[in-house]
Amino acid sequence: MSIIPYIGAEEIAEVVDSLRSGWITTGPKVKRFEEEFAEYIESDVQALAMNSATSGLHLGLEAVGVKAGDEVIIPSYTFTATAEVVRYLGATPVFVDSDPVTLNIDPKAIEAAITIKTKAIIPVHFAGLACDMDAIIAMARKYKLKVVEDAAHAFPTRYKGNLVGTLDTDVTIYSFYANKTMATAEGGMLVSRDPNIIERCKIMRLHGISRDAFDRYSSKRPSWYYEIVEPGFKYNMPDICASIGIHQLKKINIFHKKRTEMAQVYDEAFKSLPLTLPARSLGIVEHAWHLYAIRLNDEVTLSRDDFIMKMSDYNIGCSVHFIPLHLQPVWRDGYALTPEQFPHAEAAYQRIVSIPLYTKMTIDDQLRVISAVNKTLDHA
């Protein structure tokens, strides 16, 4: 069983339309995708499509003013993209532990890590469960810090009724990588309600050119003329990817409903097993369910690795989110990180397994997973 993106006839037809139109890179489809995405998020945000969430995180941090010598607080319990973008700017990632229940960055750990050099915080909404944003936003105000949300897992997630992307932070970035809740093959979206951030990211997204390529070819100005105002990057999304995104976006509420129902099926099936099921923060968060990550309780004698091996004997592919960054050679050795500094991330890592959850999954697929989990735990 692999993670299959849900691509329908509409996405295929729209890609073909772009291919036939002669305009395959950033153009009218990207513009439409951005407008429709911003409309979905509502409120007064603007959206900028990127070739990845990693690019968006880089540009978001740059736009809020992160520079060489600054410190940016991030969880150890995340994907390496969250940390590497800090380094792209010559700043220092400061790794902190997560809450043992939600596995999201622990606000108390953030506060303990703040120094005179701290410039920003990157909360990561693990698996699609929103972080404790009230605490994070309050702290950002108190210490005058920027908040750049890594919402790679969090489309769509609601926190206290409001979509992630509309909270009182500086900028939010979603991922449309192939295995995320909606996919454009590769891609991401940056949203912000600050017009200065949007303007800066727009320029930096395409070589530091002050107008994007499509405008250049469709406006009255001579088509050969442009100005470079910064040494920018090459992070634009092609229309071929936006073609997929336009139709994925139309289906996102159906996808979300389906993922939520699938999570409920798992919750119900596993409730009397020796497993810690995903935190839900009921009444506070509406979960996006990018991942369904279970933890083996102490009474399970099987190791996490053996659990995954047994599951693969039943033809069920599992994964681990995440191998905490404090264990990855580059971060561990570069910043002298030890497991003792991250007791909760470390404990979660030893026992966590992501079991299959993807939009295209059928109830029969789910029943096969449930049966394999039961059989695997019976061995233990």
Percentage helix, strand, coil, to 5, in the chain?
A: 45, 15, 40
Report the C-alpha dihedral over residues 335, 341, 345, 347, rounded to 10 degrees: 130
Report the first-to-last Cα separation within the chain, whole angstroms.
Answer: 23
Nearer to ligand PLP among residue 171 and residue 265 (C-beta): 171
Beta carbon of residue 172, minimum distance to ligand PLP (angstroms, whole number): 12
Instruction: Of 119, 109, 110, give the one whose Cα is nearest residue 89.
Output: 119
Nearer to ligand PLP among residue 152 and residue 377 (C-beta): 152
> Tokens for 270?
């596993």
Task: Tell me the residue length of the chain.
Answer: 380
Nearer to ligand PLP among residue 54 and residue 376 (C-beta): 54
Q: Which of 29, 119, 180, 258 is catalytic?
A: 180
Beta carbon of residue 257, minimum distance to ligand PLP (angstroms, whole number): 22
Beta carbon of residue 274, minimum distance to ligand PLP (angstroms, whole number): 28
Nearer to ligand PLP among residue 236 and residue 376 (C-beta): 236
Beta carbon of residue 277, minimum distance to ligand PLP (angstroms, whole number): 20
CA separation for the pair 67, 76 (Å, rounded): 21
Nearer to ligand PLP among residue 140 and residue 148 (C-beta): 148
Instruction: Of 372, 256, 376, give the one whose Cα is nearest residue 1.
Output: 372
Burial (CB count within 10 angstroms: exposed 0-12, middle 13-18, buried 19+), residue 335 = middle
Instruction: Of 251, 246, 360, give the one whose Cα is nearest residue 15.
Output: 246
Nearer to ligand PLP among residue 270 and residue 289 (C-beta): 289
Beta carbon of residue 197, minimum distance to ligand PLP (angstroms, whole number): 19
Contacts of 320 (CB under 8 A, 6+ apart): 304, 308, 349, 352, 353, 354
Beta carbon of residue 79, minimum distance to ligand PLP (angstroms, whole number): 4
State the residues that interact with ligand PLP by CB under 6 A.
Answer: 52-54, 78-79, 81-82, 124, 150, 152-153, 175, 177, 188
Beta pairing class for 285-286 and 292-296: unpaired
Asked if 31 is an active-site residue, the reply is no
C-beta of residue 189 within 8 angstroms of C-beta of residue 174: yes
- Specify the 3-state DSSP secondary structure of 184: coil
Residues noted as catalytic: 180
